[in-house]
Amino acid sequence: MSDIHDTATELFTELTGRTPDGLWSAPGRVNLIGEHTDYNDGFVLPFAIPHRTVAAVGVRDDGIGRVRVASTFAAEPVEVALDELGTLFPTLRQAQGPSSQGKPAVPEWAAYPLGVAWALAEAAGAAGAGIDIAIASDVPVGAGLSSSAAIEGATASALNDLWNAGLDKTALARIGRKAENEAVGAPTGIMDQMASMLGEPDAAIFLDCRSLEAQLVPLGVAEAGLAILVMDTRVKHAHSTGGYGERRAACERGAAIMGVPSLRDVSVGDLSRAETLMDDVTFRRVRHVVTENQRVLDTVRVLREQGARAIGDLLVASHASMRDDFEISVPELDTAVEAALSAGALGARMTGGGFGGAAIALIEADAVATVSDAVNAAFAASGFAAPHLFTVTPSAGAQRDA
Ligand code: GAF
């Protein structure tokens, strides 16, 4: 058990005076390649990282149908009746009309676990017994490493077990996404939840976001003498506001103009026709998604045929596409990528939704210090706050730990 497990256990006992019935955890993720393709029914290739969120959870002993949640993110716990969960969240309130206005909203951090409780109760047909949840995490928040999917995965796994819901990992990932879309109000796809649920040591998850068919692809990074460096710029991002939703809307517009259900159905060969049909901005958004889908397929093929050492150029092309066509990079991310490449990285790209967060670099295992020094120096020279640099290895997905 880690420090995070101890912290979650202590927080649970502080909240309830009891010991938890169990500990469940779920990881954050890095996306190796395939950005903003998930909500376009496309392909992604993420892997789970060692950083995890732990939920210490117990059924309430007072027979009351309430859910209470505490987190190291917040000073105060939040407590609500299980049968009122559906009225709490902004997007649900809008859908339900004026009669539900005026109900107390919950703080955003609590909307993740409470949204999961609501969505899981819906999927299972009913909520189970009243429940107490204490959450601790070492997944960096706002860094594009899916701290939110880690909370959703840990909470969903716990409630699935304690409420005997019997749902499989894909169903739990869908519940996490529903919480994020409808309780938190972030219009995200399913990549992060699937990565957090399905992660395995030493493998990336090649996911078809249309069928949700997932294949494990061995990465062999360490065997190839390589390492993956995460370069967290500390520029915070949020997907419930602004740019993320605009990019999603542009993709939907592009698909409608092309007369297809989603951009998954547009191939690289269709791009010259697409360019004649739409405005320049929409076209560039479409071109990013269409070429990024192809880069995911190419990366999987290259990993299988030649190994991790050969994927660097695909990572670099992906970053250029996000910077120039999808326009979701920021100067700090570009600086991290360029500095890592100049210091000898085989490939580098921003990871996650963009507008801040982290980039990754594929580097020689013995070059961690050299590349880190170069990135730190480039940030200092640009007057940026120091980045947070650390290596990651593909890790296990959501599980019960105790
Ligand atoms: C965020 C979202 F949550 C994912 O669904 C995905 O769209 C990603 O941005 C971009 O690839 O992490």
Residue having the nearest C-alpha atom to atom 7 of ligand 1: 36
CA contacts within 13 A on the Cβ side of 102: 3
For residues 267 and 42, is the Cβ–Cβ distance under 8 A? Answer: no
> What are the angstrom distances between the C-alpha of 236 and each of 112, 192, 316, 335?
18, 18, 23, 16
- Catalogue the active-site residues: 192
DSSP, res 386? P
Distance 191 CA to ligand 1 centre (A): 6
The whole-number pLDDT of residue 97 equals: 61
The annotation status of 351 as a binding-site residue, yes or no, is no
Distance 331 CA to ligand 1 centre (A): 20
- The neighbouring-strand residues paired with 137 are 53
Distance 165 CA to ligand 1 centre (A): 27
> What are the angstrom distances between the C-alpha of 369 and each of 241, 340, 373, 375, 381?
36, 11, 6, 10, 18
- The neighbouring-strand residues paired with 79 are 68
Query: Per-residue confidence of the chain (402 residues) as pLDDT tens digits?
Result: 889 999 999 999 999 999 999 999 999 999 999 999 999 999 999 999 999 999 999 999 888 899 999 999 898 999 999 999 988 886 766 666 655 555 557 898 999 999 999 999 999 998 899 999 999 999 999 899 999 999 999 999 999 999 999 999 999 999 999 999 999 989 999 999 999 999 999 999 999 999 999 999 999 999 999 999 999 999 987 666 679 999 999 999 999 999 999 999 999 999 999 999 999 999 999 999 999 999 999 999 999 999 999 999 999 999 999 999 999 999 999 999 999 999 999 999 999 999 999 999 999 999 999 999 999 999 999 999 999 999 999 999 999 999
Ordered DSSP codes for 76-110 = S-EEEEGGGGGGSSHHHHHHH-GGGTTSPPPPHHH
Rounding to the nearest 10 degrees, give the CA dihedral for residues 106, 108, 112, 113: -50
Q: What is the ipTM of this complex?
A: 0.99
Distance 186 CA to ligand 1 centre (A): 10
Distance 99 CA to ligand 1 centre (A): 33
Q: What is the pLDDT of residues 201-219, one digit of tens each?
A: 999 999 999 999 999 999 9
The annotation status of 15 as a binding-site residue, yes or no, is no
Rounding to the nearest 10 degrees, give the CA dihedral for residues 299, 304, 308, 310: -70
Distance 30 CA to ligand 1 centre (A): 11
Cβ 28 under 6 angstroms from ligand 1: no
The whole-number pLDDT of residue 101 equals: 56
Helix, strand, coil shares of the chain as percentages rounded to 5? 50, 20, 30
> What are the angstrom distances between the C-alpha of 335 and each of 158, 323, 350?
40, 12, 10
Q: Which of 43, 146, 181, 188 to mutate to test the pocket of ligand 1 (most atoms within 8 A of CB)?
A: 188
Instruction: Please state the atom number of ligand 1 nearest to the C-alpha of residue 353.
Output: 9
Instruction: Please state the atom number of ligand 1 nearest to the C-alpha of residue 34.
Output: 11
- What gap in Å lies between CA 58 and CA 176, rounded to an integer? 20
The whole-number pLDDT of residue 88 equals: 85
Cβ 188 under 6 angstroms from ligand 1: yes
Cβ 38 under 6 angstroms from ligand 1: yes
Instruction: Please state the atom number of ligand 1 nearest to the C-alpha of residue 144.
Output: 12
The annotation status of 143 as a binding-site residue, yes or no, is yes
Q: What is the pLDDT of residues 291-323, one digit of tens each?
A: 999 999 999 999 999 999 999 999 999 999 999
Q: Which of 32, 35, 181, 192 to mutate to test the pocket of ligand 1 (most atoms within 8 A of CB)?
A: 192
Cβ 189 under 6 angstroms from ligand 1: yes
Q: Which of 191, 193, 251, 333 to mutate to test the pocket of ligand 1 (most atoms within 8 A of CB)?
A: 191
- What gap in Å lies between CA 62 and CA 176, rounded to an integer? 28
The whole-number pLDDT of residue 31 equals: 98
The annotation status of 35 as a binding-site residue, yes or no, is yes
